[in-house]
A and B are shown apart, each in its own frame.
Chain A
Amino acid sequence: MVATTVDIFTSLWSIFSTLGVLVGVVVMSYMVYLIVKNRAKPEKPEPEDTPRPGELPREQKGAKKLLISVVLSASIVITLISLTFIALDNLDRPPADALEVKVVAFQWGWKFIYPNGYESVGELRIPRGTAVKLYVTSQDVFHNIGIIDLRLKVDAIPGKTNIGWTRVYETGVYDIRCFELCGDGHGVMIGKLIVMDPGEFNSWYSSLQVS
């Protein structure tokens, strides 16, 4: 099976979250350790270099320690970015055999226009296993079409067409929601994505009456 948008996101997400949690835990544990260890106790004397009233600021030397830490975090971050660019290449390269559907967002709903000219409001039907490429625009304000379960999101901007794609290997129904505040109906701007068995899809698609 070819990677889907879900696969691409999930693998990247798990790397980021693992490293993120790791770094967070290490740094915070170290901080808590220092605080507990160095808490002021009556028997503990003041450090020798405590800044005295009226002194100009001094600093603790430590360029080396800091450099090592920053190089370490830089290497983590650069790794993450390289992985991001690889994932991005895959996301930006929609499969060639895709079913192409035009999406027009409006206050407050979605219109889907199929290659044969058939228009449907609120409901997008696609066949299982075939890539689907969405050409997304808006007829009024800035929206964002999101099918979060498929990890797919595209800005819908008036006067502009943006492209997104996905491929689903299981039949089912998914929520389509708007992810950019677009007015009073933003919260209820919900559509349905219906992934059908290819055979059923074909018979449905060929039965459409296009005016």
Chain B
Amino acid sequence: MDPHQLPPSHSIKRWLLTTNHKDVGILYLVTSLYFLIVGGVLALLFRLQLAGPGLNILSPPAFNQAVTIHGLVMVLFVVSPLAFALANYIVPLQIGARDLAFPRLNALSYWLYLFGGLLVVISFFQDRTLDVGWTLYQPLSSAFSPYVGVNTGGLGLALLTASVTVSTVNFVVTIFRSRAKGLRLTALPMFTIGILLTVLMMLYAFPALLAGIILLASDRILGTVYFTSPQGGAILWDHIFWFFGHPEVYIVLFPALGVFGDVLVTFSRRPLFARRIIIAAMVVVATLSFLVWGHHMFLTGMHPDVRRAFTVTTIAISLPFDAIILSFIYTLAKARIELRTPMLFVLGSIAIFIIGGITGVFLGSIALDYVLRGTYFVVAHFHYTMAGGALVGLIAGVYYWYPKMTGRMFSEKLGRLQFVLTMIGFNMLYFPLFLSWEMPRRVPLYIEKLMPLQQIATIGGFIFATSFLVMFWNLLYSLRYGEPAGKNPWGAHTLEWMTESPPPPHNFDGTPTFADGRLSFIAANGAAHGEPETHLSPWPFMLSLASFVALLGLTTHILISVAGVGLLAFSVLGFAGERFVSREEALGERWPFEHVDRMKLAWWTFISSEVVLFGVILSAYVYVRTASATWPAPGTLLDISHGAMNTFILLTSSLTVVLALASSRVGNRVGTVGFLAATLFLGTLFLFNKYNEWSELFSHGITFSSSLPASTFFLTTGIHGAHVFAGLLALAYLLARALRGAYIGKGHETLEYFGYYWHFVDIVWVFIFPLFYLV
């Protein structure tokens, strides 16, 4: 098999091994539509239950599971992945790149996403999957839901966060480093801008979710008491979850805003109104999104001043949205509007989103939120924004780029039919829910007088579902029988339309450049020179499969996990050892990272997300400690000398890493090997010391579940220790390669990147030591 050639698209091998962004985009698209069916069928099930006030189609536990998995699947496994299906396919084309910066990591993101989703699906067939609401409120989901399926589903979410982190790093580096010459950040097409801001939000929001899942899993499996103790409990979870959860709302929405921008320009035949203000407003929203989470907690008894502050930020965030939506509408003035299917969906989606936005202001008002919280008004509001604004907006994107992806036009007639069904079904489904604002969410039974509203909603739900069947039929039918699309069927101006439909594997014949203000192609494509680039790798699939097996074993049989870990080790080595060629274009627009190479940028991006992970874990510690009336004095629970010794060891190891790098730079082989070995030794010593410390504590009867001081200590240092351990594995690999002569003279960048990680882990310890041992 030639790894530089893609096998034909009807071979299974192609789809298992491909790393090409367009193939990965198609995989994301198909998978997210599959999960749309999963989430949709669950919704239809509980809509049937709600067709009458006292029906018994779903038992209460079944109802709770359906509601929970519907929410999680739709938010995390449908809408965002659908956006990333488009992003995978379209962003490299829009910026004039041959592929994403790290094609293998891109494939890895996809497979982690798929296997994470499979864990969630499998949890259905175990004893009860997640039944605690997609918000996983505490302590219901820690101490009061002892079902194995909850663990499996939670591990599925953990795998998804891994997928998101990997793809986030990839898109950040790609959009910053792989733009065609002359394509400044502000000149990017709106969809790419939407994706860039989305991944930047993801980068700092998802580690909070991961931290939350780690704490929750630790409570459930190891018996720590973060959420089962009243000092942590419900409120701690609220803070962590909504610090992730509110940015997540915009993470879901922003790709659709990008679609709006591109589609509006194309079909109104006019430039976007106040384009730069829209971009600025989106940047403001993305920033503010991390400062509004408290509005999900207005009733929890937070301090009145804090509550007021969150009200102000929440209301403030509505103003940039005003600017964005109004600019979209003003774009239509003096336009020549072509009402083709993508445009219809965009206009419909904007109209729906306006209703969602206005009702959002209701919920931002604390006095109204007091009453509306936990009711169907909230359900209606977020479906108007996330299902109507985001999902329907992305469907516009699917239609818009379908000709580019397939080379064929879809049926306009069926597209319009779907649009009509979507608008009728959607509004019949969700508008009555605003009017059901006296009814609590997530209840299978309700009072008689709400029956007409709920029945209209159920009928609307089935019409909405039917509209998707029309879409599936349209997409499949047109694949075969659609008219040939040609390069640019819509007469659009952005770069993705300046190549064949579908584009060749290398995207453009010639290198696109905007250096003189207009698109031109430099004849010699970079791919033509030197070693051909690789397009196939088995390892992304293998790595993800191995992680899946390892995690599945945790809730089924531990031997399965052991096999999974073995497979994982094998796959990591395979991945690391594989020769995979992917070059950056020589020419490109890279501001502000002209002088940061892409690996370095990737590491810094990754480490900045790790900062949030540890930030949340340390904040959780500070939170429970502040909430506790008493806390053991320094030196009573923990032996300061252990901590001090480990601080000394770890700081020394930072020095040895620096020395290893310095030796490698000057070509000193003995020094490189010696200092790497010294680092490995010191790291091992650190863990050995840690092991002794933990054993002493255990021998005194102090365990994970003893108390909050014990729980927080074991968990925080445990996660840190796991990072040290991962570093040691990497070190062992580096050392083995150094012994065979690597990193001498050239390749010392690898040591530099490892150094960043190692220093970061050391710095985290510098925070842990005083916080846990000294104060």
Contact = CB atoms under 8 A, between A and B. Distances in A.
Is chain B found bound to chain A in the same assembly? yes
Contact of B366 (A69, A84, A188): A84
Interface string B102-141: 0000000000000000000000000000011100011110
A interface residue count range (under 10 / 10 to 19 / 20 to 34 / 35 or more): 35 or more
A38 B336 CA distance: 5
Given A27-B354, A47-B269, A53-B498, A159 B493 contact: no
Contact of A35 (B131, B230, B299, B332): B332
B304 A92 contact: yes
Nearest to B362: A16
Contacts of A175: 447
Given A55-B493, A179-B441, A187-B443, A66 B269 contact: no
Interface of A is mostly: mixed
A62 B491 contact: no
B interface residue count range (under 10 / 10 to 19 / 20 to 34 / 35 or more): 35 or more
Contacts of A155: 299-301
Given A46-B269, A142-B140, A181-B133, A187 B444 contact: yes
B330 A162 contact: no
A81 B276 contact: no
B605 interface: no
Interface string A45-83: 111011111111111111101100110011001101100
Contact of A84 (B268, B311, B329): B311
Contact of A28 (B308, B354, B368, B440): B354
B365 A179 contact: no
Interface in A144-165: 144, 146, 148-149, 151-155, 157-163
Contact of B440 (A35, A146, A160): A146
B747 interface: no
Interface stretch (B317-325, B533-541, B712-720): B317-325
B600 interface: no
A38 B335 contact: yes
A121 interface: no
A141 interface: yes
Contact of B374 (A40, A51, A157, A180): A180
Interface in B489-529: 491-495, 497-498, 514, 517-519
B586 interface: no
B273 A59 contact: yes
Interface in B160-191: 182-183, 187, 189-190
A74 B312 CA distance: 12
A181 B338 contact: no
A99 interface: no
A60 B272 contact: yes
B518 A24 contact: no
Contacts of B440: 146, 177-179
B275 interface: yes
A165 B370 CA distance: 12
A193 interface: no
Contact of A57 (B145, B271, B351, B368): B271
B747 to A, nearest CB: 39
Closest 7 CB pairs of A and B: A159-B230, A179-B374, A54-B519, A59-B275, A51-B493, A187-B443, A87-B367
Interface of A: 8-9, 12-13, 16, 20, 23-24, 27-28, 30-31, 34-35, 38-40, 44-47, 49-63, 65-66, 69-70, 73-74, 77-78, 80-81, 84-85, 87-88, 91-92, 107, 140-142, 144, 146, 148-149, 151-155, 157-163, 175, 177-188
Given A91-B367, A188-B445, 13 more contacts: A16-B362, A50-B270, A53-B488, A53-B497, A55-B493, A59-B272, A59-B275, A60-B271, A62-B330, A70-B323, A160-B234, A162-B300, A182-B140
Interface of B: 60-61, 63-64, 67, 131-133, 137-140, 144-145, 182-183, 187, 189-190, 229-231, 233-235, 265, 268-277, 299-301, 304, 308, 311-312, 315, 318-319, 322-323, 325-327, 329-339, 347, 350-351, 354-355, 358-359, 361-362, 365-368, 370-371, 373-375, 438, 440-445, 447, 488, 491-495, 497-498, 514, 517-519
